Amino acid sequence: MPEAGYELRTITVEGLSRTNPLKAARGVAKAVGALGAARRILRELRPDAVMGGGGYVAGPVGAAAVRMKVPLVLTEADSHLGLSNRVLARFARRVCLAFPIDGREGERYLVTGRPVPPPFADRAAARAQFGLDGEPCVLVFGGSLGARSVNEAAIEAFADAPFRVLHACGTRDYDQLAPRVPRDGYDLRPYIAPFGPALAASDLCVARAGGSIFEVAAHGRPAILVPYPHAAADHQTGNARWMVEHGAAVLVRDDELTPQRLRAEVDALIGDPERLAAMARASAALARPDAAQAIAREVLEAARP
């Protein structure tokens, strides 16, 4: 946030454990303290509107805004409303949804898509950046920490693949994976930033199914999605199914992911250029490049006197 020129205020809060009563009680206690901290920040700043991004950090600030009668706009990045947004939704002027959600219709709800950075448009420059010529490139990624099951399957599945692999494995697993890089043409990195050029350079993505699928769609890339199995309310499976239903992705369950299965799915797509191109068009059709502007309009409208 400070690098982008915005002031950052912090509060002390943590998620509510669904399995450990002691941790859950600690989370509630911190939320109460965070509510007081949030009210002090709002009294000082006197904002005309508050935008909540979902998640446990947004809960106390949104609740403080409601108690202080500051207009509230919520955003939901997944195909399931998180706990904070479920509690606050009825008090919000608008709830901006990344996906259509059953039961969340009416004038309070607006499907805007999820804001993502503008896509990197120069594919030739992107491929040159990663040393790619005419060969297909498969991009594997799983967030800043990575996705261990995807990392393990990919590094074995693509050991002798006839295509290039660009693999952002995350900082957690890099040191363990680096000695196992199987061949030239397998580019393993802990992290890639900015990420747009990697998407622009690739022909197919292998990834989890969090909010990054909107970046995949913004670049018009087909995908093999392996939803994180422990996501709240299994929302990543819902995210992935949305892309599958529109013809933009293939879903592989985490407990069904093996190197052999992953290689077979990738080979089938790379070996069928017409299907791959159709999936790419379907992915691009799901992009919502105006999502950030649409949400900004709602926030500005809520801030009107």
List pLDDT tens digits, range 76-87. 998 889 889 999
Question: In this predicted structure, what is the pLDDT of residue 200?
Answer: 98
Q: How far apart are CA 89 and CA 56, in angstroms?
A: 14
Quick one: pLDDT at residue 73? 98
pLDDT at 243: 96
SS3 category, 24: helix
pLDDT tens-digit readout, 17-68: 778 888 888 888 998 999 999 999 999 999 999 999 988 899 999 999 999 9
**pLDDT at residue 183, as a whole number:** 84
Q: Say yes or no to pLDDT of 212 above 70.
A: yes
* CA proximity to 155, closest of 133, 190, 187: 187
pLDDT of 206 strictly over 70: yes
How far apart CA 118 and CA 283 sit, in angstroms, is 15
Structure tokens at 244: 């599958």
Dist. CA 7–CA 190, nearest whole Å: 29
The reported pLDDT for the residue numbered 49 is: 98
Q: Which two tokens stand for residue 208?
A: 């989890």
CB contact at 8 A, 112 and 178: no
Q: Is the pLDDT of residue 196 over 70?
A: yes
Phi, psi of 56 (to 5 degrees): -70, -25
Token digits of residue 231? 């996501």
| 104 CB-side CA count, 13 A | 24
The answer as to CATH 3.40.50.2000 being correct for domain 2-114+289-302 is yes
CA-to-CA dists, residue 178 to 149, 168, 182, 207, angstroms: 16, 11, 9, 19
Residues 48 and 44: their CA atoms lie apart, in Å, by: 12
pLDDT for the residue 153: 97
Q: Where in the chain is the domain with CATH 3.40.50.2000?
A: 2-114+289-302, 123-285
pLDDT tens-digit map of 241-252: 999 999 999 999
Q: What is the pLDDT of residue 15?
A: 84
Q: What is the pLDDT of residues 87-115, one digit of tens each?
A: 999 999 999 999 999 889 899 999 999 99
Domain at 123-285: CATH code:
3.40.50.2000
Confidence of residue 145 (pLDDT cuts 50, 70, 90): low
Cis peptide before 229 (omega within 30 of 0): no
Percent of the chain at pLDDT exceeding 70: 99
Concatenated DSSP letters for 119-150?
PP--HHHHHHHTT--SS-EEEEE--SS--HHH
Say yes or no to pLDDT of 291 above 90.
yes
Q: Please state, rounded to an integer, the average pLDDT across all residues of the chain.
A: 94
pLDDT at 144 over 70: no
Q: Is the pLDDT of residue 193 over 80?
A: yes
For the whole prediction, is pTM greater than 0.85?
yes
Q: Judge whether 75 and 96 are in contact, CB under 8 Å.
A: yes
Q: Stretch 254-277: mean pLDDT, rounded?
A: 97
Q: Alpha-carbon distance 256 to 237, whole Å? A: 14
3-state secondary structure of 116: coil
Q: What is the pLDDT of residue 293?
A: 97
Which pLDDT does position 246 carry in this prediction? 97
For residue 6 the two structure tokens come to 């915005």
Cα–Cα distances in angstroms (integers) from residue 21 to residues 16, 18, 25, 73, 83, in the given order: 9, 8, 6, 31, 17
